[in-house]
Amino acid sequence: MRDFARDHRALALNTASLGHNLDGAGAGWSPEQVIDACAARGFGGVVFWRREIGTRAVTIGNRARAAGLQVVGLCRAPFLVGPLAVPGVADDFQAAIDMAAGLQAGVLTIVTGGVEPGSKGVSESLKRVTAQVAEAAPYAAARGVKLALEPLNPVYAGNRSCLTTLRDALDICDAIAAPNLGVAVDVYHVWWDTDLPRQLLRAGPRIYGYHLCDWLADTKDVLLDRGMMGDGVADLRAIRAQVEAADYLGACEVEIFSAANWWQRDPAEVLDVMLDRFRTVC
231-263 pLDDT, tens digit per residue, is: 999 999 999 999 999 999 999 999 999 999 999
Q: What percent of the chain has pLDDT over 90?
A: 96
Q: Which residues face 48 on adjacent strands? A: 74
Confidence of residue 224 (pLDDT cuts 50, 70, 90): very high
- Residue 236 near residue 281, CB atoms below 8 Å: yes
The whole-angstrom separation of Cα 214 and Cα 230 is 7
Whether the pLDDT of residue 116 is over 80: the answer is yes
Residues 147-169 have pLDDT tens digits of: 999 999 999 999 999 999 999 99
**What does the alpha-carbon distance between residue 136 and residue 118 come to, in Å, rounded to a whole number?**
25
Mean pLDDT of 25-39: 92
pTM, whole model, 2 decimals? 0.97
Nearest Cα residue to 184 out of 76, 266, 32, 275:
76
**What is the CA 151 to chain-centroid distance, rounded?**
10
Q: Calculate the average pLDDT of the chain.
A: 97
Give residue 28's pLDDT. 85
Asked whether 89 and 76 are in contact (CB, 8 A), the reply is no
Distance CA 260, CA 73 (A): 26
- Residue 270: name the closest of 9, 10, 13 by CA: 13
pLDDT band of residue 24 (cuts 50, 70, 90) is: confident
Residue 22: the pLDDT is: 79
Q: For 46-70, how does the pLDDT look when each residue is reduced to its tens digit (9 = 90+)?
A: 999 999 999 999 999 999 999 999 9
- Is residue 90 scored above 90 in pLDDT? yes
Residue 46's H or E segment, with its range, is: strand 45-49
In this model, does residue 117 exceed pLDDT 90? yes
DSSP code per residue over 188-219: HHHTT-TTHHHHHHHHGGGEEEEEE-B--TT-
What would the pLDDT profile of 192-203 be if each residue is shown by its tens digit?
Answer: 999 999 999 999
In this prediction, residue 38 carries a pLDDT of 98
pLDDT at 111 over 90: yes
DSSP assignment letter at 17: G
Instruction: Please report the pLDDT score of residue 20 as a whole number.
Output: 84
Q: Above 80 in pLDDT, residue 44?
A: yes
Q: Which ranges in the chain belong to alpha helices (H)?
A: 31-40, 50-53, 57-66, 89-103, 123-142, 166-176, 187-190, 196-203, 236-245, 267-281
With 80 as the cut, is the pLDDT of residue 26 above it? no
Mean pLDDT of 126-138: 98
Cα dihedral 129, 133, 134, 137 in deg (nearest 10): 180
What pLDDT is recorded for position 186?
98
Residue 27 pLDDT class (50, 70, 90 cuts): confident
The domains found in the chain, sorted by start residue, are 11-281 (3.20.20.150)
